[in-house]
Chains A and B, each alone.
Chain A
Amino acid sequence: MTRAGAKFWVGAAAVMLLALAATAILKNEYWFYAGFVVLQFVVLATAWNILGGYAGYVNFGTSAFVGAGTYAAIVAIKALAAPLGVQILLAAGIAGLLGFATGLLTLRLRGIFFSIATVAVAIVLETFIVNWRFVGGSTGIQILRPVDTGLFGSYTKMLFLVMVGLSVAAAAIARTLEISWIGRGLRAVRDNEEAAESCGVPTLRLKLIACTISGALMGAAGAPMAVYQSYIEPASAFSLNYSILALAMPIVGGTAHWSGPVLGALLFGTLQQVVSATISSELNRLVIGVMLIVFVVGAPAGIVGLWRKWAAKRAGAGSP
């Protein structure tokens, strides 16, 4: 393992231990309730970035994959009475398949056409759920949390820890892809797809891999929503918020490195929670808008880009 790899895994272990310690120490459930939401966006932003950041294919349909994950979990609960782990795996599988199918149908389209097609997927899927009585249709469905709270004292704490695990897994997957030949090929697609093709980079296959993994992670992030919210209806499960934030966070954090979407989601997500808890949830939207504009204009490479520029400048000043 490389030094950077060792550092990553030590960091990942530290994050998980810290989260575990937090659940043991902190009494107020609110922290975990809010932390769950922030971490869900860490997973979503990271997942979005695999296709949107590395390959440059902007997915406007994150909500389709999150919603598919949530409803896959609902089906798992209603039909199979499956435990949370199975719900998440099933959701990842279904959303991954959805990603693959979407990719197969749309990845021959480039640029804005691909983005429009992903919006259509979200709309089609929501309409399908609205008309499916088994999962509650348009009125939604009530999900009862299991009474057993498991090892961690409270169900919310347990869900928080699950989301910590998913976040670490998502970052690890994104990082592994990034430093592999797949990541290299995806960067080539982003930079000049025609050239990538004529060099013998299997562009369609790489894009399909990215689309499937990205979709599966989004689905996995959507699955715990069923028991987290305990009441699910299509409009919120397929909320446009997912699509917008999953795209805004990597842009704020930086799309070139796996840490970009993680940082963007932590910063953005935390700020959102603070603003909506202290001021109002309406102002929240203003904050998103202003931050996006500031970053797009002032730091198009995001936080990671700013940091790299600063590091380069320091290195430049250090050498004569």
Chain B
Amino acid sequence: MALKLTVEGIDAGYGAVRALDGVSIAVGEGETVALLGTNGNGKSTLMKCIMGIVRPSRGAITLQLDDQTLDLCRLPTEEIVRAGVAMVPEGRRLFPKLTVEENLFLGAFRPEARRELAQGLDFCYQAFPVLKERRRQPAGSMSGGQQQMVAIARALMSRPRLLLVDEPSVGLSPLLVTQTIAKIKELKDSQGLTVLMAEQNLHQAIRIADRGYIIVHGKIVFHGESRAAIEANELVRSYYLGV
């Protein structure tokens, strides 16, 4: 397998607050894995640990890339991005005062991506034509759906192989959520990406997920090997489906 992300028994938190407790997950090449859980259960913290923004106090995160193995707990974020991991952060986290185009440029900060700047930009504008029209506009002045497009496009500008998407549904209308999720699937297929998506909206997430983990209070409580297994699970039924 050419790409494999392995998170093994990590603990992480903020000061005295423990957000993750012995979390282990794995994501393999070409998969779309959903990380399911309601607010405040540690999904974003896990994403930040993978990106090197939050450091786990215990455990290991490794990324196997072709014949090299990277210890993500030791690499700074820029090196992790350089290795081919990109994140679409929760709440989008754009550069609101910079133009749409500058936002996209910043996604391509790593030297390899800079060299392919023109192609990257072309690809993003093809995937999201509205961004081309609005490329001179400050990103903060756009609608929520368009901002989500900028965030996804910005992540793609770094030419990632593994894309982390943190709560793409936050702040979007149901129709836009459906479109965003479909877009992620489309991009994944056309670019051969591997996707790890954190989501609280189970119904939307399992439309495109191959597998899923359910995280509750910082612990992985269930691993569903397939869509059907997730839907059939007791926890899911009581949490989300109310039966």
* 5 extra A-B contacts, CB within 8 A, seeds A184-B102, A195-B89: A194-B53, A195-B95, A196-B95, A200-B78, A202-B78
A-B contact pairs, 26 of them (CB 8 A): A181-B109, A184-B106, A185-B106, A188-B95, A188-B106, A191-B96, A191-B97, A192-B93, A192-B95, A195-B94, A195-B95, A197-B77, A198-B48, A198-B87, A198-B93, A199-B81, A199-B106, A199-B107, A199-B109, A200-B77, A200-B81, A200-B109, A200-B158, A201-B106, A202-B78, A202-B109
Point out which of A181, A192, A197, A201 has the most chain B C-beta atoms below 10 A from its C-beta: A192
Q: Is the CB of B95 within 8 A of A187?
A: yes
Q: Is the CB of A191 within 8 A of B98?
A: yes
Q: Is the CB of B80 within 8 A of A200?
A: yes
Q: Is the CB of B110 within 8 A of A200?
A: yes
Query: In the complex, which residues of chain B have a beta carbon less than 8 angstroms from the beta carbon of A200?
Result: 77-78, 80-82, 86, 107, 109-110, 158
Q: Is the CB of A201 within 8 A of B53?
A: no
Q: Is the CB of A185 within 8 A of B109?
A: yes
B114 within 8 A of A: yes
Give CA–CA (A68, B23) in the complex, Å: 51
Closest to A191 in B: B95
Query: In the complex, which residues of chain B have a beta carbon less than 8 angstroms from the beta carbon of A202?
Result: 76, 78, 109
Q: What is the CB-to-nearest-CB distance from B178 to chain A, in angstroms, rounded to a whole number?
A: 26
Give CA–CA (A77, B129) in the complex, Å: 63
- Please report the number of residue pairs spanning A and B whose Cβ atoms sit closer than 8 angstroms: 63
Query: In the complex, which residues of chain A have a beta carbon less than 8 angstroms from the beta carbon of B94?
Result: 192, 195
Q: Is the CB of A199 within 8 A of B76?
A: no
Looking at chain B, what size class is its interface with the partner chain?
Answer: 20 to 34
Q: Is the CB of A192 within 8 A of B77?
A: no
**Contact digits for A189-232, partner B, Cβ 8 Å, 1 yes 0 no:** 00110111111111000000000000000000000000000000
Give CA–CA (A181, B110) in the complex, Å: 10
Closest to A202 in B: B78
Give chain B interface residues in 162-187, CB to chain A under 8 Å.
none
Q: Is the CB of A195 within 8 A of B86?
A: no
B230 within 8 A of A: no
Closest to A189 in B: B95
Closest to B107 in A: A199
Binding site for B on A (CB under 8 A): 181, 184-185, 187-188, 191-192, 194-202
Q: What is the CB-to-nearest-CB distance from A248 to chain B, in angstroms, rounded to a whole number?
A: 22
B240 within 8 A of A: no
Point out which of A181, A197, A200, A202 has the most chain B C-beta atoms below 10 A from its C-beta: A200
Query: In the complex, which residues of chain B have a beta carbon less than 8 angstroms from the beta carbon of A185?
Result: 106, 109
Q: What is the CB-to-nearest-CB distance from B205 to chain A, in angstroms, rounded to a whole number?
A: 21
Give CA–CA (A188, B97) in the complex, Å: 9
Q: What is the CB-to-nearest-CB distance from A90 to chain B, in angstroms, rounded to a whole number?
A: 33
Q: Is the CB of A197 within 8 A of B53?
A: yes
Query: In the complex, which residues of chain A have a beta carbon less than 8 angstroms from the beta carbon of B154?
Result: 199
B105 within 8 A of A: yes
Query: In the complex, which residues of chain A have a beta carbon less than 8 angstroms from the beta carbon of B82?
Result: 200
Query: In the complex, which residues of chain A have a beta carbon less than 8 angstroms from the beta carbon of B106?
Result: 184-185, 188, 196, 199, 201
Q: What is the CB-to-nearest-CB distance from A153 to chain B, in angstroms, rounded to a whole number?
A: 49
Query: In the complex, which residues of chain A have a beta carbon less than 8 angstroms from the beta carbon of B107?
Result: 199-200
Give chain B interface residues in 144-166, CB to chain A under 8 Å.
154-155, 158
Query: In the complex, which residues of chain B have a beta carbon less than 8 angstroms from the beta carbon of A196?
Result: 95, 106
Q: What is the CB-to-nearest-CB distance from B1 to chain A, in angstroms, rounded to a whole number?
A: 24
Give CA–CA (A194, B48) in the complex, Å: 11
B209 within 8 A of A: no
Q: What is the CB-to-nearest-CB distance from A209 to chain B, in angstroms, rounded to a whole number?
A: 14
Query: In the complex, which residues of chain A have a beta carbon less than 8 angstroms from the beta carbon of B93?
Result: 192, 194-195, 198
Known contacts A197-B53, A200-B80; A188 and B89 CB within 8 A of each other: no
Q: Is the CB of B102 within 8 A of A187?
A: yes
Q: What is the CB-to-nearest-CB distance from B190 to chain A, in angstroms, rounded to a whole number?
A: 22
Give CA–CA (A199, B154) in the complex, Å: 8
Q: What is the CB-to-nearest-CB distance from A156 to chain B, in angstroms, rounded to a whole number?
A: 44
B51 within 8 A of A: yes
Give CA–CA (A187, B98) in the complex, Å: 8
Query: In the complex, which residues of chain A have a beta carbon less than 8 angstroms from the beta carbon of B81?
Result: 199-200
Give CA–CA (A168, B138) in the complex, Å: 32
Query: In the complex, which residues of chain B have a beta carbon less than 8 angstroms from the beta carbon of A198?
Result: 48, 51, 53, 77, 87, 89, 93
Give CA–CA (A191, B154) in the complex, Å: 15
**Contact digits for B102-143, partner A, Cβ 8 Å, 1 yes 0 no:** 100111011000100000000000000000000000000000
Q: Is the CB of B96 within 8 A of A184?
A: no
Give CA–CA (A181, B105) in the complex, Å: 9
Pick the residue among A187, A188, A195, A201 that contacts B78 (CB under 8 A). Answer: A201
Give chain B interface residues in 35-74, CB to chain A under 8 Å.
48, 51, 53
Give CA–CA (A265, B51) in the complex, Å: 42
